[in-house]
Every structure is written in C-alpha cells, then in structure tokens.
Structure 1
Amino acid sequence: MSAAPLTVEQVVEARLFVSAHRTAPLHVTLRYRSDDPLAVRMVFPAEFSLDGDELPEPPPEIEWVFARQLLAAGLDLPSGVGDVHIRPAVGRWTMVELRAAEGVALLQFGASDLRRFVWESYRTVPEGFEGQYLDADRALSELLG
C-alpha cells in the first residue's frame, strides 16, 4: 500500500495588471503534490477568468499547471516557452505571464513568496528525485483520459 501523497499549499498575494496604469490585487493558491512531482499549480479565483459570461454557476476556480522547474528557473532568469513565462522583475518581484486563446494575464508576485513555495516543494520532493515519486501508470492513464 502506498503512502498518501504529500501536499504543499500556500496562498500568496499577487497583482493582476488590468491595464497599463491599473492593477487588481488577488489571492492565488500555489499547490504542489508529491504524486505529481514535476508540476506546480496556480489556482485563481473564478472572477478573474478570461472566459467572460461563459462560466457556469457557480464558476470554478481557474487552475494553471506547469513545470516546477519553470517556476524555480524563472525566479532568477527569464524562463518559459508557450503559455507560461516567468521572469524576475525590478525590486523583489517576479512576473508571471499566462497566455490563453482568450487573452494574456500578467501577474506580479513577491519573489520571496514564490521562493518559499519552491523551497517547501523541494523539501517534499527533492530536485532530481522526482522519478522516485512519479507513478508513470497513473500519469499515462490521466493523459489518455
């Protein structure tokens, strides 16, 4: 019998750039699970969805899933290809850009909040040891639906 997966969860404050001169504060939940050791999740309140009026009632949270390594690398150097880009910014900030068919969201996070989350995830599953926690059969099953 396998042990229950370990989870790291941290709620952090971010700023969503609504326009060139306006931002909106929001709380983002960062999640990491030992049974999905290569990924991190950013969960946003439903009211920040780019889908507009197409959301069901009540609207679900919005979850972005991407590589833990991308988050770690983006704290020090511009990183990302495709839908998720992360880069350090002036001061103690980290910028996260999320691209979808509906539009682009630019968010600013405190770099120390993201570093603390990455560090906690490494305490749960050390970098380089993800393969020991990866359930390939489960991952393949989820991928193929």
Structure 2
Amino acid sequence: MPAALVEQTVQADLILSTRRCALLRVSLRYRAADPFAVRMGFPAEYSLDAETAAGPGAEVEWVFARQLLATGLDLPSGLGDVHVRPAHGRHTMVELRAADGVALLRFDERELRRFLRHSYLAVPEGDELLHVDADRALAQLLG
C-alpha cells in the first residue's frame, strides 16, 4: 500500500540580496487525501508577518498545485502567489508572493524531483481524482 503521507526536509537558500542568502530548512509534504496539492513549511521566524512568528518550531505553510512544482522544474510556471522556475546549475527557484512582500528561495532540483517521485508513488499522476473524498471536499467548500 503506497504511503498516505510523503514528507521530506530539504535545505533552501532564502535570497536576501544579490550577495546574501540565509540557509533554512523547508518541510515538503504531500498527502494522498489532498492529491492535487503539495505543502512547503518554513520556519515562522522568516515570515514577514509578525503575527505569524510564533514560538520555536512554528511553521508557515504554503499550499500549491503539485503540477505547478513538477512543471516548474523544467519551465517557468505559476500564476498568482507561487512561481517556480529552473535556475542556473541544478537549482530551482520558488517565488512566494504575499501582501507583506516576496520571498525567493533556491532549492536543489534533485531534492525536489526526489520528493515528487515519492509523491507519485503515493498517488500516480492522473489518478488524483481516485483519491478525492467528494463529501469531505464539498463540506470544506461549504463549511
């Protein structure tokens, strides 16, 4: 039985300027119960929103389409708040846009591909609808 939850912690560079970056740990998560989405969790202390910066271990989570991440490894992709694109070397850039500002992160492309490979073992591409709980989704939508 494939895993219902795929989790992987990776390192990312938070680009602060053309000459400075901060190394941070990012939690990648994929849940078979939410088969179209991936989640990226970042330490809350890096949030621009002061209210979000809770205690130690707190995270800020961004949720976006698994397909966006997959496409962005090879081609610039994204609309709205999340953009993903290949970068020089074996890197992938993820740009997160919020009302408080923009965060630009550089990931090792191989780590993101490994995470996606495991997510496809949990729910193969094209089988997402087989894992959607329509009643739960409707309740969330109306809820």
Classify the TM-score, shorter chain.
over 0.9
Q: Percent sequence identity over matched residues?
A: 65
Q: Which runs of 4+ in 1 moved over 3 A?
A: none
Question: 2:84 corresponds to which letter in structure 1?
Answer: I
- Which whole-Å CA distance do the structure 2 matches of 1:76 and 1:133 have between them? 27
Structure 1-normalised TM-score?
Answer: 0.92
1:99 aligned to 2:77?
A: no
Deviations along 1:51-70, whole A, 9 cap, x unmatched?
Answer: 13x34642731000000000
Structure 1 gaps of 5+ residues are: none
- Report SS of the residue matched to 2:16: strand
- Which whole-Å CA distance do the structure 2 matches of 1:131 and 1:57 have between them? 36
Deviations along 1:18-58, whole A, 9 cap, x unmatched?
Answer: 12221000000000000000000000011111113x34642
Shift of 1:137: 1.7
- Report SS of the residue matched to 1:108: strand
Partner in structure 2 of residue 45 of structure 1: 43
Structure 2-normalised TM-score?
Answer: 0.93
- How many corresponding residue pairs? 141
- Which whole-Å CA distance do the structure 2 matches of 1:90 and 1:56 have between them? 32
- Which whole-Å CA distance do the structure 2 matches of 1:35 and 1:121 have between them? 12
- Report SS of the residue matched to 2:30: strand
1:10 aligned to 2:8?
A: yes
Q: 1:138 to 1:110 in 2, by over 3 A?
A: same
Structure 2 gaps of 5+ residues are: none
- Which whole-Å CA distance do the structure 2 matches of 1:111 and 1:96 have between them? 11
